[in-house]
Amino acid sequence: MSLTDSRILPNLYDGLATPPLLSPALTPATRFTFPSRSSISIGALTPRSTNVSTPVSSPTVHRSVNGQSPLSSSLIYPSAPPSTLVDLPIGSLQPAQLPPPAKLINAHRLTNGNTPKFETDSLTRELKGKMPALSHLLSVGSGRGLSIVADEKHIYTGCQSGDNEITVFSRTTLQPMYRLMGHEGSILALLLIKQKGWLVSASSAGDVRIWSTKTLELMYIIHPCDDTAGDVYSLAWDEREGGTLYLGSQSASIEWVNFSGPGPVRRRRVSAASASTVEVVPLGQNSVDPVQDRPGPSQRTGRYKPHHFFSNPPEGASCSGSGASTPRSPMMSGTPNGSSRREFFTSADLDKLSLNERAEHPATELEIGAESRIAFAHYGYVYALEMINRPNGRKWLVSGSGDSDVKIWDCAPGGGLSLVKTFDNLPGGVLSFAIRDSLLYAGLQAGEICVWDMETGACIRTIEAHEADVLSISVLGGDVYTSAADGRILRLNAEFDCTAVWKAHSGTVMSTVIASSTRKGGWELITTGSDSFVKIWNVDLPKAHNHDSEVDVEGEGDVMLYALSKLVAVPTVSDDAHRESCRQGAHLLKKILSQLGANSEVLSGEQGKNPLVLATFTGRDTGKPRKRLLFYGHYDVQPADEEKWETNPWELSGRNGYLYGRGVTDNKGPVLAVACAAASLRQRRELDVDLVMIIEGEEEAGSRGFASTVRKHKSDIGHIDAVLLSNSTWIDEADPCVVFGMRGVVYAKLSVSSKDEDLHNGVDGGATTEPMFDMVRVLGALSDKDGVKVPGFYDTVRAPTDEEISFLKDVSAASGRNLEELIRVWRQPSFSIANIVSSGSGNKTVIPKKVSADISMRIVPDQQLDDIVRDLKQYSKTVFKGLGSPNSFEIQVTHSASWWLTSLDSPYFKALESSVQDVWGVKPLKIREGGTVPTVFWLEKEFGAPCVHLPMGQSTDAGHLANERMRLLNLRNGKRVIEAYLTRLASI
C-alpha cells in the first residue's frame, strides 16, 4: 500500500529484516475493524485501570519453547478509516495545531469502590501552547530516515536505501555534506558518544560500526556473539572504565563490549571487504544536487530481506519546484557522464577534506564473546535501551522488548548486567524510552505511553496518546515530545497535559532528537520519517514547573522561605487519595536538598506506602574523622478542611509576623530550617560534620514501613553518632525549650462477640447476655479513679529526682501550668478509652451482636513495653473469663512504642541547650512531653546513638488544626540554632 495511506502501518521493526512473523492463529480473516475516531476513548490513568479496554487487539507474544530462539511479538494492525488530517505542505513553516487524539479523554477516577466517575479535569488535558515552527526541510532522497542524532556541527541520519548510508548534514549550511557507507542493512539505531567523539551505528545486517565525528573515518566494526544477533535495534553507553557499549538485538539478547582494553573480544584489522567509504556529496549550481533514482535495497545474502513496506518511495518524496532554497537529496548513483560529479573517499583520502585531526588508531574489528552477553534477556526483540545515572556513580540499563516487558539492570563498571526489577504485562511491545528527571517514559505499540517513577518503581501514568506505535520520545526540560507511526508528534508538559499536537510527517515519524539551536539560546526538535524528509522544528525550553523550580542558594536568607512555599504547595497528605502528591513532594524535597548541596535520593517505601528522602550534607575534610548527625523529619501532613482556613492551606502566606500553610510547623518548616543551616555552613566552608537527613512520608499515618526501609538502606546511611529531631512545639509562646523525654504508647482493640445476630431488646432483652455489658465490665476492671488496675502496672515507674522536680517547677512558673498536672501528663502513665463501636444500627432498641473498644495506654520510664503488652492481654482475658459469659473475647495490640528519655549529662544534649541559649539569649526550658514520636526510641536503639529533640514552634501553632502557622522569627532562629549546634558537634 502507499505510504500516503493513513491506515495504521504494519509492524515497522519486523519488516526491516524479515517478513512479519505471524502466529498461525492470526490469519487475515481474524483482523479487527478499527473503530471510528469518534468512538475511541483514551485516558491517562494512574495507575492504569484494568477496566478500561484498549480498542486494538493484544499482541501475540512468541516465547521460547524447548530451547528454540524466541520471536518478538507480532502485531496485525487493524484497518482504519481514512484520516481527516491534512498533511503539512512542503515549505510550510508553521504547522496547524491539530485537535488532540480522540484517546485523550477525561480520566477515570474511582469513587466509593469500583464505580468510575468522569471528572472535568483530566489527568491528560488539552492545553494548547505555543506551536513549534518548521524552520527547514532536508531530504535524504529516495531513502527513508530510520534514525537520527545531532551534535554541534552535524545532523546524522541513518537510512534504509540502496546503499544504507548515513547522511551527514551540516548544522550551519543545512546542506548534505557526506554519506557514510559500508553497512549492508538499514541503519536502525544511531548513538553519539560526545566524550569519545564517536558516532555509533547499528544495522539490520547485524553489525555495529563506530565512526569518528572529527574525521568521519571508520574506527571499529563490532560483530555480536556468534554473528547470530540478527537486527541490532538499540544502543546504550556507560562511560565508566573506558566505556561500555550495550547492544539490544533481534535475538532477544543484550550484549556489550568494553573499550578499556582488548578484554575477552577478538581484534583484527578491518578486511578490504568490510572497509567503509565516505562519499562527499557534490553540489550543483545553487547548491542543489540533482535527484537520481536509486536501485532497490541491497541485500546481505541469507540475512537481509526488506519488508514490502519499504518497497516503494512515498508519494511526493522529492521537493517540488526548483529546490533552489532547499538542498536536494545526495547523489546516490553515478552520473551519466562519468564520475567527475561524484567522489568517494577511503580512510586515506580523508586528509584531503577540511576536517579536524585524524583518529588515533586504525579501524578494528571486534567480536563479542559469549561471556559478554545475556542470552534471552527478553522473550522478544530488544527494541529500546536507555542508560540511567544512579546515586554514588552507579548505572542502570533499562531494556524494552516486544515481549511487553521493561527490565531494569544494574551495570557493572567495565560491562556486565544483573537484573534489578521487571515491569511486565504491559499492553504492548516496548519501542522507545526517554528519561525526565526521575521518570521513565516508555513508548508502546498501539500508542500508549507508560510512565514510571524510577526511585520507587511505581507506574504513575498510562497515557494513551497515539493511535499507532510510539517510536521515539525526546525530552526538553519539563516537556516530552512523543512521536508515532501515525505521523503525529505530541508535546506533554510536566503535569502530563497535552500542550501541542501536529502532523509532522506524511508517513511514519521514525526518530527524533532534541539539540541546541545554532541560534543563541534556542532549541530544535529534529525529526526523520518514512517520507524521506528530515525536518527541523524550533521549540522553546519550558518554564520551570512550580513543583520543580530550582532553588537559588545565593542569598540564603530568602532561600528557606522560597523552598518552603514550594513544598507547602504540594498537598502531601498521607492517605491513599494523595499518593501521587506525596510522590511529587518527595521528589521536590529531594531536588531542593540536592540544590542546597546534599547528595540526596528518594527511597521506595513498603508496597503502597509513601517514599522516603535520604540526603547527606558532607562536611569539609579537617584531617580527622567527622561526627555524623542523623536528622529525622517528615514531609507528610494532616488533611486540611479548607472551609475553616482564612487562607489557602496549600499556599504559604505571611500575616503579622506568622507564616500560614499546612505543614509549615509540622514538619516542613523545621526540615528546611535544618537543611538550610547545613547549606549555609557549607557555603561559608564551616561545616565540619556530616548531616544525614531521613525524611519520611508516613509519620502522620503511624510511620508505616519506616523501620523496614531504613534497615534496608542502613549501609547507605552509615555510622551515626547522634540523632536530632524537631517535631513538636514550645510549652508556651515566649520560652524556647528543649525536650528530654516522651511517654511511650500502647494501642489495643478489645472485641466482644455473640453467636447470635443483632437482637431486639423488646423481644430478647433480659434473655441474652449482651456483649455491651461484657465490654463495660472489662473496661471498668482495667481502670478506675485510682488509675490502671493491671497488676504490677506501676511497679517499675521511675521515681522523680530532685533535679527533675526543679526543672518541672521552672516550667510551671514560666508557663503558668500546675506542677501536679505536669507530673501527671509527663511523668505518670495513663489509660484512655478512645471509642466504643457496635454492630448495631445505633437504634436504641437494638442489642448489638459485637462491640469493640479502642484503648490507649501511655507508659513512662522504666516500664518495659513487652511486659506491659503481655500483662494487658493476660489481665483482660482473665477478667472476661471471670464473667462466665457465653460470648467470645479478643484483644489485639495495634501499635506500640517505647518511652524515650535522654541523659541530661549527654554532651549532645548540653550542646543543643547551649546552642539555643546562644541564639535566643536565655536558657531554654527543659521539658518532657506526654505524647509519643515512635521513631525516636527506635532510631536511638537502631543506630546506638543518643537522641536530642529541638522544638521550634510555639504552643499555638495549631499543627493539626485549621490555620496552621509558625512565627517567622522562630523559623529563622531555629535555623541559627541548628547552625550553632552543628558547629558545636565538631568539637565533641
Residues labelled catalytic: 636, 699
* Side chain identity at residue 981, one-letter code: Y
CA atoms within 13 A on the CB side of 514: 21
User: What residues contact 129, with CB distance under 8 A and at least 6 apart?
Assistant: 491, 493, 499, 500
User: What residues contact 378, with CB distance under 8 A and at least 6 apart?
Assistant: 70, 252, 399, 401, 402, 403, 405, 407
Cβ atoms of residues 465 and 482 within 8 Å = yes
Beta strands at 900-901 and 846-847: parallel, antiparallel or unpaired: unpaired
Report DSSP state, residue 625: P
Cβ atoms of residues 566 and 545 within 8 Å = no
Cβ atoms of residues 770 and 753 within 8 Å = no
Q: How far apart are CA 711 and CA 471, in angstroms?
A: 41
CA-wise closest residue to 611 among 601, 621, 622: 601
Cβ count within 10 A of residue 801: 10
Q: How far apart are CA 955 and CA 928, in angstroms?
A: 14
Q: How far apart are CA 984 and CA 988, in angstroms?
A: 7
φ, ψ (nearest 5 deg) of residue 893: -80, 115
Cβ atoms of residues 439 and 473 within 8 Å = no
User: What residues contact 750, with CB distance under 8 A and at least 6 apart?
Assistant: 775, 778, 779, 852, 853, 855, 876, 889, 890, 891
Cβ atoms of residues 251 and 229 within 8 Å = yes
Cβ count within 10 A of residue 676: 27
Q: How far apart are CA 418 and CA 256, in angstroms?
A: 13
Is residue 689 classed exposed, middle or buried when 0-12, 13-18 and 19+ CB atoms within 10 A define those classes?
buried
CA-wise closest residue to 980 among 920, 916, 925: 916
Q: How far apart are CA 260 and CA 243, in angstroms?
A: 7
- ω into residue 47 within 30 of 0, thus cis? yes
User: What residues contact 241, with CB distance under 8 A and at least 6 apart?
Assistant: 258, 260, 413, 414
User: What residues contact 114, with CB distance under 8 A and at least 6 apart?
Assistant: 51
The three three-digit cell numbers of residue 484, written as one number: 508515532
Cβ atoms of residues 862 and 796 within 8 Å = yes
Q: How far apart are CA 824 and CA 743, in angstroms?
A: 11
Beta strands at 737-742 and 925-929: parallel, antiparallel or unpaired: parallel
Q: How far apart are CA 540 and CA 27, in angstroms?
A: 47
Q: How far apart are CA 722 and CA 628, in angstroms?
A: 7
Which secondary structure element, helix H or strand E, spans residue 510, and what is its range? strand 509-516
Q: How far apart are CA 205 and CA 182, in angstroms?
A: 11
Cα–chain center distance at 112? 28
**SS3 state of residue 370:** helix
Cβ atoms of residues 889 and 731 within 8 Å = no
* Side chain identity at residue 888, one-letter code: S
Q: How far apart are CA 653 and CA 971, in angstroms?
A: 14
Cβ atoms of residues 615 and 600 within 8 Å = yes
Q: Which residue has the cell 558532607?
A: 618
Report DSSP state, residue 729: B
- Calculated CA dihedral for residues 48, 50, 52, 57, nearest 10 degrees: 100
Residues in the chain: 988
